[in-house]
Amino acid sequence: MKVEKCPETGICSIIREDGKKIDLMPYEVSQIQEATGDKSKMINVLRDVDDNFASTLTEKETEDLLSKI
């Protein structure tokens, strides 16, 4: 899983190995960072953006995201 953050805009893109992608606005990235390891809070933020993307995340992908964002 790749996580890319634009230094100018603060928009964060999460790209899965299968090509599925989600873009997060800076305030959504902040919400995930504030979750500080709480997987359910992170998933709730992602569900608000793209429920289909969030519902297909594996446990390993979730852990990976928490460490990268």
Q: Which amino acid is at 2?
A: K
The pTM (predicted TM-score) of the whole model is: 0.82
CA distance 20 to 42: 18
Q: Helices 59-68 and 39-49 meet at what angle, rounded to 10?
A: 90
Residue 36 has a pLDDT of 74
Average pLDDT over residues 53-59: 91
Record the tokens describing residue 22, joined without a space: 């989600």
- What pLDDT score was predicted for residue 26? 95
In the predicted structure, residue 3 carries a pLDDT above the cut 80: yes
pLDDT of 65 reads 85
Per-residue pLDDT tens for 17-54?
889 999 999 999 999 888 877 888 889 999 999 999 99
